[in-house]
Amino acid sequence: MDRLQTLEVFIAVAEAESFAGGARRLGLSAPSATRGVNALEERLQTRLFTRTTRTVRLTDTGRAYLDDARDILAQLHAADAIAAGAATTPTGCLRITCSNEFGRLYVAPILTEYLDLYPSVTVDVLMVDRIVNIVEEGFDIAVRIGALPSSGLTAVRIGEVRRVVCATPAYFEQNGVPKQPADLVHHKIIAAAPVSPSAEWRFGTDAQSTVHVRPRLTVSSVATARSVVRGNWGLCRVLSYQIGPDLEAGVLQTALDEYEPPPMPINLVHTEGRRAPAKVRAFLDLAKKRLRAIPALTPTHNSRSSIA
């Protein structure tokens, strides 16, 4: 017998005041119950029962030990119930990490719906423009944009995005539309450092199809770059989801679409696989449904509003 089963035998015998009665309660033979109690007493180096041919009575030590044994099993059963509940009912704190713009535009609306659906869950979100090690930093789910390296993580694909050159229709009307990447040298460039940290902009699938741009303005915020572009001052390169609403509304338009690099996948990544707790599974189910319905993230659409 293992130690927990030995405790169960001890408690059953004490409550029945009989080895046979305790054994029947657990579906064991009387000799098995006797061996279990004997092993427990030997391990503890003390007597828990006073035995006669007719009765089994707890010693003073046995009575104290019985209270502790009951507490231990009660705590174990409570822990089992909590764990089983977490596997079936969303509960606890869900920790998510994603980039700033993706989180602001697409994750935040899902989170409020998720919290309304599951009142026993709280959410902690880290929005940061870096790759977070979700295992080492204790996150349940991460939104990943781009090719995934080999790992033991589970990935759920929910869409893809493009790397696009964009400006307002008014800017293109006043300054002309670049017909090929080399034409960018004639335009005012706003560089969004999180998207284009280098002055070398690559186009197409050919690694040699690069253009050296000379940004007039470099900012560390995509939101700032978008704001400047919307003011008709110049053009910039961003990820298509970052201007999805503006493309849908016609506020911004893209150029050089035929020269774009291949689109990048978007995945929800988590660590638990099929054994993920209910809080993770529930969020994944809701997020898949909501994100796959967003035009800016769909492979066949990507909120494409281009100008030629």
- pLDDT tens for 183-196 read 999 999 999 887 87
Distance CA 289, CA 268 (A): 12
| Rounded Cα distance, 116 and 107, in Å | 15
pTM for this predicted structure: 0.67
Instruction: Using DSSP bridges, classify how beta strands 121-127 and 56-58 pair: parallel, antiparallel or unpaired.
Output: unpaired
Residues lower than pLDDT 70 in the chain: 1, 81-87, 205-208, 300-308
Residues contacting residue 64 through CB under 8 Å, at least 6 positions apart: none
Amino acid at 161: V
* Residue 274 neighbours by CB under 8 Å, 6+ apart: none
